[in-house]
């Protein structure tokens, strides 16, 4: 359990730094681009993506800790649910704020790419480290 908490804590710290970096870029983006390319929802996207990414990582990480072959199923289900949630959010926003839908969609998509890439790369690195550790333990036996 201690290892899980440490891994998740490290992930959350790095996710925070990613969000902070995006926040700094977002500040300059909001300051430099014309209003037609800015969405007022930008400040809300940082905590939203941080929270969604943190929850998904926690669920996937916990599923990967068991030796269950169902891990791939969990991963696929969570990925599909995340995509559905994002599509619903984009559609609702587009219906409510038609004049601002395109900038919102573009910024949302950029956030999706950045956070999903970070999540996948970090998780693959974690799985690789786990596999190497298991291989070392088997060689010691």
Residue 136 lies in a domain: no
Q: From 121, 127, 51, 125, select the one nearest 82 (Cα to Cα).
A: 51
Report the number of distinct structural domains present in the chain. 1
Question: pTM for this structure?
Answer: 0.84
Residue 31 lies in a domain: yes
> Alpha-carbon distance 133 to 88, whole Å?
40
Residue 141 lies in a domain: no
C-beta separation of 61 from 4 below 8 A: yes
> Alpha-carbon distance 51 to 33, whole Å?
27
DSSP state, 38?
Answer: -
Residue 137 lies in a domain: no
The residue range of the domain holding 88 is 2-130
Residue 117 lies in a domain: yes
Tens-digit pLDDT string for the chain (141 aa):
556 678 889 999 999 999 999 999 989 988 888 877 888 888 999 999 999 999 999 988 888 777 667 778 888 899 999 999 999 999 999 999 999 999 999 999 999 999 999 998 998 887 787 777 767 777 766
> Alpha-carbon distance 4 to 60, whole Å?
12
């Amino acid at each position: 359990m201690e290892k899980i908490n440490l891994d998740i804590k490290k992930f959350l710290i790095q996710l925070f730094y990613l969000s902070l970096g995006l926040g700094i870029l977002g500040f300059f983006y909001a300051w430099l681009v014309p209003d037609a390319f800015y969405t007022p929802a930008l400040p809300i996207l940082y905590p939203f993506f941080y929270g969604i990414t943190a929850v998904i990582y926690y669920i996937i990480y916990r599923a990967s800790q068991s030796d269950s072959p169902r891990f791939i199923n969990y991963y696929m289900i969570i990925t599909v649910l995340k995509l559905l949630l994002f599509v619903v959010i984009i559609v609702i926003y587009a219906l409510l704020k038609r004049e601002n839908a395109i900038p919102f969609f573009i910024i949302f998509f950029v956030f999706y790419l950045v956070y999903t890439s970070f999540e996948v790369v970090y998780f693959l690195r974690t799985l690789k480290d786990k596999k190497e550790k298991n291989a070392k333990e088997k060689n010691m036996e």
